């Protein structure tokens, strides 16, 4: 009498797996909530930036990871969101909360508008066109005609909001929680989106556009809407960033920002919601890390951190081309396969010894 | 177990007490200062589009190294932490917060870039951290009434433009002026300064203003446009690379206007030679530093001091780059302020002395140019002298003018 | 009127450099279906090598050809030891590798040669004997050199066995292998050629724009624009696109919208053209069978 082989390792591992996952989530929540109380103001603002990047990467990942449209110019939407929030709160006296939201809505419109001509551009052409968008953004922001609103090359200063209801939080801590709150909402929305019919439609459009159309998916509508939504996410991130930094200027939104966002989603792993956290940590901290490595090389090596950063990027792509999430999936798959085969071996032995006794 | 814990606690307490006594004597109101060192911080664009200005930071670091080799100031060595911000204001904010909150520097010295300094000015003033001798000529940084902890250093762009304006009005009141300006704070401040100084009734004098981005390959097209506008006077608010291109192109297309140029590009080695010296004859600048490649200063003792310094501490660096001269000047002025502080290196005292420099002349200043500050005057250098390029060297003319 | 002629001629001169860059980008694209974002920085680095050689006393043309050889070898080495390892990696991972290369070359140049601008010799005389104000000898010279490079490339691909083999390897690697073409070698040579062409672009550009580590940034963008406009799979179209972009940029800046938003206008034009003709003006239209 041989037992059925274990086909789905999840069933065997299920109770422990679930406990592990809940445990991890609980630890995660403790860390996220407790962070600003143990870290200095400076570190807290750095982690706020990480959360902000995570939101922006979430948006870009929706577009590029799940829907296959490569954008090298998302820094432009980050800029629109940042400036919209700044102009609304500084020039028009709108409260910062609504200002960020309105910035997001404006970015949705901008993204949708850009998505329309983008429909005609395939992969590479779209990448280059968005690259040009990223380069044109600082110049547009400096345009004389907009000076009265944008502050021109001098930029705009924002006052950092303090905690409401006289909560005993410093400004850094309050902003951090604001960012985390927005991130949590957007993450939840994204996870639901991905797992819904819409998410499946997006992935279908990415992998088999013609088949998707044949099945009745309105590719054009989905693609432009995704562009809009992705821009909106990035715009919200930009708006939050302008609050955390307290200043916007055309120089704040250069080409390197757009490139960093792409680096972030690739390092984190395309089409992975949780990977964006790894990506965000990477683009916030690794340049500083490269800085400290090059310090060892002495005074003359002032610009070398970027060479080190470049080398790290290449090594990372070599070691983990599918990013953190992709590599994690591979590792977990390998572990589960090993477990499955060892469970099967155990069952076989049991069956064999059972045969003997029965 | 119980007694072991007690023993450990006791020894820890003793160790802490001993450490506190023998450790660095950080004064309560003088962060970053010990008996043997003073720690200061700055951000510089060592990467990115403005990286050419990183030379200023390198010169300053080398100068402090020289001071330290000579024993420091009042027995303290100067430890300059110079961080790269890539000319990106969000990065500047992050690095400055790191310097102030994590590294606990005494003050911020000569951080470079108008948008970068704008981004950190509120934070530094709120936290009463001196923002000394900012490396930008934007006029907004000399405002002691609103920002008592921020002070500039170099002659601001408006002063220069005003000096040009008054020269134009005096020598050629019917001039038609064409302006080429870099599309950033530097260029725009110049343009606005010129227009303001010319005054409302002379507003028509500026017949064409054309901008360029630092990312553009050439400004040839802009020069052609200016020629076509009929301008007979040309103001170049341009950095060295573009100034050289503009001078060369103007000559090549046969346009011979009266030319004024910002002193940022007043370099024989970096601008006139690449453009072609014969193409730059007659160009006028407002100068306050001795230009390193100018034959006139070949045997000048001040510049020789600078040359020895470059040979010893920055060997291999390009000695035609006037940024190294500026950095030397900044650091020399800073050293003077620190000397004036004596042993009280609290932030209040440092700021007080920065606003109390009288007639300080660095070896690299033109004769007659001095640093002067007071609690009501946060524009340390306001004197410049007009100079004209004669094909080989800068011929100073006129008096030292104070804006 | 004279101003317009000036603008057009000056646009053609700078356009010749964009055309070279566009050509290099397309060469790599045709062989590997990858866009080399680091093309500009590689060209800049090659130009610095040439500068160093000239500083060390080498005569101009010796330095020029030595630099071409160096760049060719550098391109081959990069393909062989770096890019080939990412053959099977997802597209975006390779893009990140290019970004890494971009940053490395830029930093290295800044570290080795500092950020102060340097002037770079032009092989052409300072002025025409006849005193022509419309175009400097160097500007005319770089147009001639670009056309020369285009002609050489055309002859190479059209009439030499090696060129034929490379075209085969790019169009259909599987079949090419079956007939004995060493596809991997062809890829390496393609990269080497592209790097050499990029070096020519850099050495022609440097006398005009002056040599500094950030000199190719703006040029690369316009090179891409040219390649897009002309069609990324058509080398001649891309080169022509480069010339068009050069002239268009000048005219737009001088007469249409002013210098302030030239870049955005360039972007708008490109997007506009692509919307009307997605594969570029001269590109091949791909029709997929369902």
Domains of chain B: 26-155+299-381 (3.40.50.2300), 157-287 (3.40.50.2300)
DSSP B281: T
Residue with tokens 């001649």: C236
pLDDT at residue number C261: 73
Query: Nearest C-alpha of chain A: how many angstroms from C89?
Result: 6
| Spatial contact of C254 and B224, defined as CB atoms under 8 Å apart | yes
Tokens of B92: 């500047």
Assess whether pLDDT exceeds 60 at residue A69.
Answer: yes
Query: Helix or strand or coil: residue C58?
Result: coil
Cα A107 from chain centroid?
A: 17
Question: What are C198-222's pLDDT values in tens digits?
Answer: 999 999 999 888 888 888 887 888 8
| Arithmetic mean of pLDDT over chain B | 87
Give the pLDDT confidence of B125-183 residue by residue, as tens digits: 999 999 999 999 888 898 999 999 999 999 988 888 988 998 999 888 899 999 999 98
Range with the poorest average pLDDT among A42-51, A56-65, A113-122, C192-201: A113-122
Instruction: Output Rg (C-alpha) for chain C, integer angstroms.
Output: 19
CA gap B358, B375 in Å, rounded: 12
Can you read off the two tokens belonging to residue A241? 């960033």
What pLDDT score was predicted for residue B3? 52
Least confident range of A151-160, B23-32, B269-278, C215-224: B23-32
Q: pLDDT band at B17, cuts 50/70/90?
A: very low
B1-5, B27-31, B317-321, C200-204: least confident range: B1-5
Following CA atoms A124, A129, A132, A136 in sequence, which dihedral angle do they give, to the nearest 10 degrees?
-160
Handedness of CA B49, B50, B52, B58 (dihedral sign): negative
pLDDT at A3: 47
H-helix segments, B259-346: 273-275, 301-313, 322-341
Other beta carbons less than 10 A from residue A164's beta carbon? 9
- A322-344: average pLDDT: 84
Task: For the beta carbon of residue B308, count every other beta carbon within 10 angstroms.
Answer: 11
Q: What is the largest CA-CA distance in chain C?
A: 63
CA A238 to chain centre: 13
Percent of chain B whose predicted confidence (pLDDT) is above 70: 93
Confidence bin at C52 (pLDDT 50/70/90): very high
Residue among C212, C191, C201 at smallest CA distance from C48: C212
**Residue B110 above 90 pLDDT?**
yes
Using pLDDT thresholds of 50, 70 and 90, give the confidence band for residue B301: very high
Could you report the per-residue pLDDT of C76-89, keeping only the tens digit for each?
999 999 988 888 88
**What pLDDT score does A125 carry?**
77
Q: What are phi and psi of A229, to 5 degrees?
A: -65, -45
Per-residue pLDDT for C184 more than 90?
Answer: no
pLDDT, residue B103, reads: 92
Q: Supply the pLDDT for residue B1.
A: 44
How far apart are the C-alpha atoms of B155 and B162, rounded to whole Å? 11
How far is Cα B164 from Cα A345, in angstroms, rounded to an integer? Answer: 90
pLDDT at B298 over 80: yes
Distance between CA atoms of A115 and A123, rounded to whole angstroms? Answer: 13
At how many degrees (to 10) do helices B114-126 and B89-97 cross? 30
How much is the pLDDT for A357?
54
Distance from CA of C216 to the nearest CA of A (A): 14
Query: Which of chain A's residues have a Cβ under 8 Å away from the Cβ of C288?
Result: 210
Cβ A310–C107 below 8 Å, yes or no?
yes
How long a stretch of residues is chain B?
403
Give residue C290's pLDDT band: very low, low, confident or very high (50, 70, 90). Answer: low
| pLDDT on residue B14 | 47
Mean pLDDT for B345-369 is 92
Percent of chain C that is helix, strand, coil (3-state, to 5): 75, 0, 25
Angle between helices B322-341 and B54-69 (to 10 degrees): 50
pLDDT classification of A302: cutoffs 50, 70, 90: low
Residues 6+ apart with CB under 8 A from B150: B117, B121, B124, B125, B131, B134, B141, B143, B378
Do C90 and B27 form a contact (C-beta atoms < 8 A)? no
Tell me which residue has tokens 């030379």.
B55
Is C205 in CB contact (< 8 Å) with chain B?
A: yes
Read off the pLDDT of residues B238-263 as tens digits, 9 standing for 90 and up: 988 899 999 999 998 889 999 999 98
DSSP string, A310-332: HHHHHHHHHH-TTHHHHHHHHHH
When CB atoms are compared, the residue of C35, C103, C232 closest to A309 is C103
> What is the Cα Rg of chain A in Å?
24
In chain C, what residues touch B217 (CB-CB under 8 Å)? 14, 17, 205, 208-209, 215, 218-219, 222
Q: What angle, 0 to 180 degrees and rounded to 10, lies between the N-to-C axes of helices C161-171 and C137-159?
A: 80
Q: Is ipTM beyond 0.90? A: no
Q: Using an 8 Å Cβ cutoff, are C103 and A310 in contact?
A: yes
Which of B102, B115, B183 faces A155 most closely, judged by CB atoms? B115
Q: Helices A255-268 and A304-319, interaxial angle, to 10°?
A: 30
CATH architecture of C2-276: Orthogonal Bundle (1.10)
Q: Is B384 helix (H, G, I), strand (E, B) or coil?
A: strand
* Stronger pLDDT, B97 or C139, i.e. the higher one: B97
d(CA C202, CA C39): 10
Q: Which of A36, A39, A40, A42 to mutate to test the interface with B (most CBs of B within 10 A)?
A: A42
CA diameter of chain B: 96
Give the pLDDT confidence of C132-163 residue by residue, as tens digits: 566 778 888 888 998 999 888 888 888 888 88
To the nearest whole number, what is the mean pLDDT of chain A?
A: 85
Q: State the pLDDT at residue A29.
A: 87
Mean pLDDT value of segment A305-325: 88
Both structure tokens of C85: 């390892």
Q: Supply the pTM of this predicted model.
A: 0.86
Asked if B48 lies within 8 A of A256 by C-beta distance, the reply is: yes
Selected residue with higher pLDDT from B21 and B38:
B38
Cβ proximity of B123 and B341 under 8 Å: no
Under the banding of pLDDT at 50, 70 and 90, the label for residue B20 is very low
CB contact under 8 A, C136 and B321: no
Q: What is the mean pLDDT of residues C259-272?
A: 73
> How does residue C288 score in pLDDT terms, banded at 50, 70 and 90?
low
**Count of CB pairs separated by less than 8 Å, A with C:** 135
Distance from CA of B328 to the nearest CA of A (A): 17
| Model confidence at A219: pLDDT above 80 | yes
> A109 near A116, Cβ under 8 Å?
no
Rounded Cα distance between B235 and C11, Å, is: 24
- Cβ distance A300 to C111 less than 8 Å, yes or no, reads yes
* Share of residues in chain C with pLDDT > 90 (%): 28
Best of C36, C83, C95, C230 to mutate (most A CBs within 10 Å, chain A): C95
- Is A290 or B314 the better-scoring residue by pLDDT? B314
Q: What is the DSSP string of B122-161?
A: HHHHHTT--EES-B---GGG--TTT-TTB---SPPHHHHH
Which of A293-302, C104-113, C119-128 is the most confident on average? Answer: C104-113
Q: Cβ(A34)–Cβ(A44) under 8 Å? A: no
DSSP B81: E
With a cut of 60, say whether residue B114 has pLDDT above it. yes
Residue C67, chain B, CB below 8 Å: the answer is no
Chain B residues within 8 A of A306 when measuring between CB atoms = 47
For the record, the structure tokens of A68 come out as 């296959």
Q: From CA C254, how far away is CA C265, in angstroms rounded? A: 12
The pLDDT value given to residue A298: 61
> Does B374 contact chain C (CB < 8 Å)?
no
Helix (H) / strand (E) element for B354: namely helix B347-354
Whether C3 sits inside 8 A of B227 (CB atoms) is yes
Q: What is the mean pLDDT of chain C?
A: 85
Alpha-carbon span A266 to C92, nearest angstrom: 7
CA distance C178 to B258: 70
Q: What is the 3-state secondary structure (H, E, C) of C170-214?
A: HHCHHHHHHCCCCHHHHHHHHHHHHHHHHHHHHHHHHHHHCECCC
- Look at residue C33 and give its three-state secondary structure: coil
Residue C105 is encoded by which pair of tokens? 């070359």
Say how many residues make up chain A.
358
Sequence-distant (≥ 6) Cβ neighbours of residue A42 within 8 angstroms: B94, B97, B98, B100, B101, B102
Q: Determine the pLDDT at residue C236.
A: 86
- Which two three-digit tokens encode residue B361? 């002349």
Please indicate if any CB of chain C lies within 8 Å of the CB of B240.
Answer: yes
Q: How far apart (Å, rounded) are the C-alpha atoms in residues C49 and B97?
A: 40
Provide the 3-class DSSP secondary structure of residue C119: coil
Residue C237 near residue C251, CB atoms below 8 Å? no
User: Do the Cβ atoms of A42 and B114 come within 8 Å?
Assistant: no
Establish if C111 touches chain B: CB-CB under 8 angstroms: no
Q: pLDDT > 90: what percent of chain A?
A: 33
Sign of CA dihedral C52, C57, C63, C69: negative
Between the alpha carbon of residue B62 and those of residues B27, B100, B314, C107, C265, the distances in Å are: 27, 22, 7, 21, 45
Bridge pairing between strands B108-109 and B131-132? parallel
Does residue B16 have a pLDDT over 50? no
Joined tokens for residue C277: 């003709």
Torsions phi, psi of B110, nearest 5? 55, 45
Contacting residues of A for C110, CB less than 8 Å apart: 303
Q: Pull the structure tokens for residue C230.
A: 């002309």
Least confident span in A6-15, C71-80, C165-174:
A6-15
* Nearest-by-Cβ selection for B84 from A45, A251, A291: A291
- Tokens, residue C245: 């972009």
Q: Which of B83, B84, B188 sits opposite A152 (nearest CB)?
A: B188
Give domain limits for chain A: 39-273
pLDDT band at C128 (very low <50, low <70, confident <90, very high): low
Q: What is the pLDDT of residue B238?
A: 92
pLDDT tier at A301, thresholds 50, 70, 90: low
Is some CB atom of chain B closer than 8 A to the CB atom of A148? no
Q: pLDDT-based confidence at A283, cuts 50/70/90? A: very high
User: What is the pLDDT, as a whole number, of residue A16?
Assistant: 67
Distance CA(A74)–CA(A83), nearest Å, equals: 14
Which tokens in the block code for residue A219?
């590719």
Per-residue pLDDT at A300: 58
């Amino acid at each position: 009498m041989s037992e059925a082989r274990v086909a789905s390792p999840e069933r065997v591992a299920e109770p422990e797996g679930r406990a592990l996952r809940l445990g991890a989530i609980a630890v995660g929540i403790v860390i996220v909530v407790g962070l600003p109380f143990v870290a200095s103001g400076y570190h807290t603002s750095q982690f706020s930036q990480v959360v902000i990047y995570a939101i922006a990467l979430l948006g870009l990942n929706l577009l590029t990871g799940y829907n296959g449209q490569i954008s090298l110019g998302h820094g432009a939407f980050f800029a629109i969101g940042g400036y919209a929030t700044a102009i609304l709160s500084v020039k028009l006296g709108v409260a910062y909360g609504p200002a960020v939201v309105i910035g997001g809505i404006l970015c949705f419109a901008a993204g949708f508008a850009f998505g329309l001509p983008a429909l005609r551009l395939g992969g590479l052409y779209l990448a280059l066109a968005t690259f040009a968008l990223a380069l044109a953004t600082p110049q547009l922001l400096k345009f004389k005609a907009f000076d009265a609103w944008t502050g021109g090359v001098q930029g705009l200063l924002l006052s950092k909001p303090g905690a409401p209801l006289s909560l005993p939080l410093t400004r850094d801590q309050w902003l951090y929680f604001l960012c985390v709150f927005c991130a949590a909402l957007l993450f939840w929305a994204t996870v639901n989106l991905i797992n819904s019919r819409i998410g499946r439609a997006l992935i279908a459009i990415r992998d088999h556009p013609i088949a998707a159309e044949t099945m009745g998916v309105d590719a054009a509508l989905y693609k432009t809407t995704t562009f809009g939504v992705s821009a909106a996410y990035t715009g919200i991130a930009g708006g939050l960033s302008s609050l955390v930094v307290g200043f916007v200027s055309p120089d704040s939104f250069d080409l390197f920002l757009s490139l960093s966002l792409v680096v972030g989603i690739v390092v984190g792993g395309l089409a992975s919601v949780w990977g964006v956290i790894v990506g965000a940590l990477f683009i916030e901290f690794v340049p500083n890390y490269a800085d400290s490595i090059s310090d060892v090389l002495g005074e003359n090596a002032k610009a070398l951190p970027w060479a080190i950063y470049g080398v790290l990027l290449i090594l990372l792509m070599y070691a983990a081309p599918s990013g953190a999430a992709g590599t994690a999936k591979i590792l977990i798959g390998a572990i589960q396969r090993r477990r499955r085969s060892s469970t099967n071996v155990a069952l076989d032995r049991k069956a064999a010894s059972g045969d003997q006794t029965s | 177990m119980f007694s072991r814990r007690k023993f450990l606690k006791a020894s820890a307490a003793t160790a802490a007490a001993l450490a506190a006594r023998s450790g660095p004597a950080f004064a309560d109101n003088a962060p970053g200062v010990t008996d043997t060192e003073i720690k200061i911080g700055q951000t510089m664009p060592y990467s990115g589009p403005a990286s050419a200005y990183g030379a200023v930071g390198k010169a300053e670091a080398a100068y402090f190294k020289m001071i330290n080799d000579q024993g420091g100031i009042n027995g303290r060595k100067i430890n300059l932490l110079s961080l790269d911000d890539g000319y990106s204001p969000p990065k500047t904010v992050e690095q400055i917060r790191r310097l102030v909150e994590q590294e606990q520097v005494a003050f911020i010295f000569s951080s470079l870039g108008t948008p970068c300094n704008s981004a950190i000015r509120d934070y530094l003033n709120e936290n009463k951290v001196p923002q000394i001798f900012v490396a930008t000529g934007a006029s907004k940084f000399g405002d002691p009434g609103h920002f008592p902890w921020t002070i500039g250093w170099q002659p601001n762009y408006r002063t220069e433009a005003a000096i040009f304006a008054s020269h134009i009005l005096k020598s050629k009141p019917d001039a038609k002026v064409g302006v080429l300006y870099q599309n950033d704070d530097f260029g725009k401040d110049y343009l606005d300064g010129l227009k303001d100084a010319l005054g409302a009734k002379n507003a028509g004098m500026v017949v064409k203003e054309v901008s360029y981005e630092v990312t553009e390959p050439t400004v040839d097209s802009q020069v052609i446009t200016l020629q076509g506008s009929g301008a007979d006077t040309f103001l170049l608010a341009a950095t060295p690379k573009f100034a050289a291109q503009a001078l060369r192109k103007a000559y090549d297309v046969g346009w011979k206007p009266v030319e004024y140029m910002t002193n940022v590009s007043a370099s024989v080695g970096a601008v006139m030679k690449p453009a072609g010296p014969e193409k730059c004859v007659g160009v006028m600048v407002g100068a306050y530093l001795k230009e390193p490649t100018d034959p006139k200063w070949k045997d000048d003792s001040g510049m020789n001091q600078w040359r020895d310094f470059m040979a010893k501490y920055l060997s291999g660096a390009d000695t035609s780059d006037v940024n190294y001269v500026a950095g030397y000047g900044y650091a020399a002025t800073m050293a003077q302020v620190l000397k004036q502080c004596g042993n009280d290196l609290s932030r209040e005292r440092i700021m007080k002395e920065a606003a109390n420099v009288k007639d300080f002349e660095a070896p690299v200043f033109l004769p007659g140019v001095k640093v002067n500050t007071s609690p009501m005057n946060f524009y340390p250098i306001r004197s410049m002298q007009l100079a004209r390029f004669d094909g080989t060297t800068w011929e100073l003319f006129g008096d030292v003018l104070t804006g | 009127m004279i101003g317009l002629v000036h603008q057009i001629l000056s646009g053609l001169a700078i356009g010749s450099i964009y055309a070279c860059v566009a050509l290099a980008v397309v060469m790599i694209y045709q062989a590997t279906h990858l866009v080399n974002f680091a093309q500009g920085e590689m060209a800049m680095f090659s130009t610095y090598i040439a500068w160093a050689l000239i500083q060390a006393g080498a005569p101009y043309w010796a330095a020029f050809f030595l630099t071409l050889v160096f760049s060719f070898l550098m391109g081959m080495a990069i393909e062989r030891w770096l890019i080939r390892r990412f053959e099977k990696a997802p597209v975006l991972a390779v893009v990140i590798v290019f970004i890494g290369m971009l940053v490395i070359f830029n930093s290295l140049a800044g570290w080795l040669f500092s950020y102060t601008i340097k002037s770079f010799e032009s092989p052409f005389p300072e002025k025409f004997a006849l005193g022509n104000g419309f175009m400097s000898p160097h500007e005319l010279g770089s147009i001639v050199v670009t056309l020369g490079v285009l002609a050489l490339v055309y002859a190479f691909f059209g009439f030499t066995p090696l060129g034929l083999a490379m075209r085969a390897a790019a169009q259909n690697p599987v079949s090419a292998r079956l007939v004995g073409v060493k596809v991997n070698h062809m890829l390496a040579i393609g990269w080497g050629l592209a790097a050499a062409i990029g070096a020519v672009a850099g050495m022609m550009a440097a006398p005009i724009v002056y040599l500094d580590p950030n000199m190719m940034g703006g040029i690369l963008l316009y090179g891409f624009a040219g390649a897009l406009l002309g069609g990324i799979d058509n080398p001649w179209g891309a080169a022509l696109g480069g010339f068009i972009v050069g002239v268009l940029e000048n005219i737009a800046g001088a007469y249409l919208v002013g210098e302030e938003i030239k870049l955005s206008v360039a972007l708008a034009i490109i997007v506009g053209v692509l919307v009307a003709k997605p594969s570029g003006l001269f590109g091949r239209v791909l029709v997929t069978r369902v």
